[in-house]
Amino acid sequence: MNTNKASTVSLLALAAIMTTSLLLADTSMAEEAYDADKYGPQEPIVWTTPTQATFNHPVHTMDAGLECDSCHDGIFAMEQGAAGQAGDFTMKSFKEGKYCGSCHDGNTAFDAATQCASCHSAPEAPIVFTYPVKAVSFDHSTHVKKGGLACETCHKEVFAMKKGTIEEAEQSKTDAVDKREYLEKLHNKYCGTCHDASQAFGYLTRCTVCHIGVKGIDALQGGDQKKEGHGESKH
């Protein structure tokens, strides 16, 4: 009996099959080019006013399977910037079912009143409060990345998502008693909602952790420039 010969033949056959399938796999691996007619522009659409927000076509067409006419032209014109010029491209309109809110209502897609970070991103640079003096800076990354706080914890009620919320609040009184009351209210209403010595350090005990002063802010901004000098700008 010659079993040896049979197994040699099948080994050769196996080797041949493996070689061909490897070659086949190789050719089918070539990337298919992105088809903008089929899926819309590949680059994200970014708004910068009044705040920063991003929309991705591929997420909606390729991933969620929507056709162009689910949005164009009934909900959005096929022209970047058109909605922004209409004057009502706001969260309030979304809540009323317009624009992004015609789907992002918690039924068709996640509710736009939640998950702010899916569409918005926090500024990288610290925000410097300038009234009445340049003295306080607020760093998103400490709170969001290190502290793990969701945007909603601050931006639902306490801070509108724009610079100047605190500065636009009622300004100081000259009378000493009123002023003290005013200051307490100011701190309690904003940073003090967390900086109350239970959720985060209390504002009454550690003024200078926030009030770093003009020098502190200059140093902070100098430090930032130095970092950027090393090559990577964050924008």
121 binds ligand HEC (CB under 6 A): yes
Q: Which is nearer to ligand HEC, 92 or 235 (CB)?
A: 92
Residues 101 and 94: beta-carbon distance below 8 Å = yes
220 binds ligand HEC (CB under 6 A): no
74 binds ligand HEC (CB under 6 A): no
Q: Minimum CB separation from ligand HEC for residue 85, in Å?
A: 8
> How, if at all, do strands 53-55 and 136-138 pair?
unpaired
217 binds ligand HEC (CB under 6 A): no
Q: Minimum CB separation from ligand HEC for residue 101, in Å?
A: 8
Residues 139-168 that bind ligand HEC (CB under 6 A): 140, 142-144, 147, 149, 151-156, 158-166
211 binds ligand HEC (CB under 6 A): yes
Give the integer Cα–Cα distance in Å for 116 and 44.
17
Residues 42-71 that bind ligand HEC (CB under 6 A): 45, 47, 50-53, 55, 57, 59-61, 64, 66, 68, 70-71
Q: Which is nearer to ligand HEC, 13 or 78 (CB)?
A: 78
| 91 contacts: CB under 8 Å, gap ≥ 6 | 112, 113
Of 101, 177, 199, 116, residue with least CA distance to 150: 116
Q: Which residues are registered as beta bridge partners of 137?
A: 128
Of 90, 108, 110, 107, residue with least CA distance to 99: 90
